[in-house]
Amino acid sequence: MAEPRVSVVVPVFNERQNLPKLHERLSAALEATGRSWEIVYTDDGSKDGSIDLLKDFHAADPGRVRVIEFERNAGQHMAIMAAFERARGEVVVTIDADLQNPPEEIGKLLALADKGHDVVGSIRKDRQDVGWRVWASRAMNWVRERITGIRMTDQGCMLRAYHKTVVRQIVATGEQSTFIPALGQAFAANPAEVEVEHAARHAGESKYSLYKLARLNFDLMTGFSTVPLQVFTIVGMLVTAGSLGLVGVILLRRIFIGSEAGGVFTLFAILYFLVGVMIMGIGLLGEYVGRIYQEVRKRPRFQIRNVYEKVDP
C-alpha cells in the first residue's frame, strides 16, 4: 500500500449523529483534491456506539479508512496524538467530527502546504458558537499570544495541516497535557494561515464542559510558558513593597499619635484580598507541579483497545 499524500485525522467522542454526514462529505472533499488520501478516526471512548459506524466505514474502504479505538476517554488532543502516530500522509490534516469545520475547506490548506508551508493554520471567518465561548476564546487567545509568544490568530480552530516532519516532532515530544496547534506552531519553520468557513454543530452538543475547557486552557498556558509564575513573583514583590510602606506608616502613627483601633475592617479587607492572591499563587504552582507529576510517572497517555486497519503483508 503506497503512502497517501494526505492523511486526515478525526477525533471522535460521542458523535454518532454526525459521523455519516461527515464521512460522506469528507471522502467527497478528499476525492475532489485529486490526491491519494486516508482518514484516521480515533474513537475517544465514545459511549453512543460511534465505534460501530467507524468500523463500518473501515469495512467499506479498508485501504483508506483506519480506526483507532480507545479504551476510555483521553481527550481530543490525545485522540489526535494517537492518530498522528499512525498517519502516513505527506501532509496531515486535523478536523473536528461535528462538521463545524467544513471538509470542503481542506483544499485551501493543501494549496498552501504545496507552496512549502509546513504548518497551515486557519481562522474561522464567522465563528458559529455560543456568545460567551467566542468572547472567552478571544480573551484566551490574546493572553496566550502575550505569555507564550506563539503567534496564531485563532488557536481554537482545529482545521489545520501539518507536514509530516512537524507531525513527527509533535509525536516525539510524548507530551500528555498538551495543545496540538501550539506544538505545531512552535515547531513550524514556515507557517501560514488561511481564512475558512465555520458552521454551527451539525448535531449534538459541545463535548467540552466549562471545567474541561478551563483545564485545556491551563494545559496551553502552563505547557508553553512559565510567564504566569514570573508574573506571580513580580506581583509578590510589589505586594511586599506595598506592605512594607504600610508597616512604616502604621509604625510612625503608633509612635507619634499613639495606639489606634480604627480601620479594623479595612485591614480585614486587605487581608482577605492577600489571602486570595496567595491561594491563587499556590493553585498556579499546583497546576505546574501536577502536570510535572503526571509526566514523570510516565503512565500511558491513552490506552488503545483496538486498531482497525488493513495491515500490509
CB 244 to ligand UDP: min, Å:
46
Residue pair 87/40 in contact (Cβ under 8 Å)? The answer is yes
Residue pair 58/66 in contact (Cβ under 8 Å)? The answer is yes
Query: Which listed residue (27, 94, 100, 177) binds ligand UDP by CB under 6 A?
Result: 100
The sheet carrying 65-70 orders its strands as 191-196, 119-124, 160-163, 91-94, 6-12, 37-43, 65-70, 304-308
Q: What φ, ψ does residue 245 adopt, rounded to 5°?
A: -60, -45
Site map 43..82 versus Mg ion, x via CB under 5 A: ----------------------------------------
Residues 260-299 that bind ligand UDP (CB under 6 A): none
Of 221, 217, 229, 226, the closest CA to residue 136 belongs to 217
Site map 115..154 versus ligand UDP, x via CB under 6 A: ----------------------------------------
Chain mean position to CA 180: 6
CB 10 to Mg ion: min, Å:
12
Query: Which listed residue (15, 38, 69, 154) binds ligand UDP by CB under 6 A?
Result: 15
| C-alpha cell recorded at residue 7 | 492523511
Tell me if 98 contacts ligand UDP by CB under 6 A.
yes
Report what 79 binds from ligand UDP, Mg ion, none; CB cut-off 5-8 Å by kind.
ligand UDP
Residues 96-155 that bind Mg ion (CB under 5 A): 96, 98, 100
Cα distances (angstroms) measured from residue 305 to each of 45, 63, 84, 193, 310: 10, 20, 17, 36, 16
Only one of the segments 15-23, 71-79, 91-99, 264-272 lies at the binding site for Mg ion (rule: CB under 5 A); that segment is 91-99
Site map 200..239 versus ligand UDP, x via CB under 6 A: ------xxx-------------------------------
Tell me if 79 contacts ligand UDP by CB under 6 A.
yes
Distance CA 267, CA 270 (A): 5
Tell me if 15 contacts Mg ion by CB under 5 A.
no
Of 181, 189, 182, the closest CA to residue 92 belongs to 181
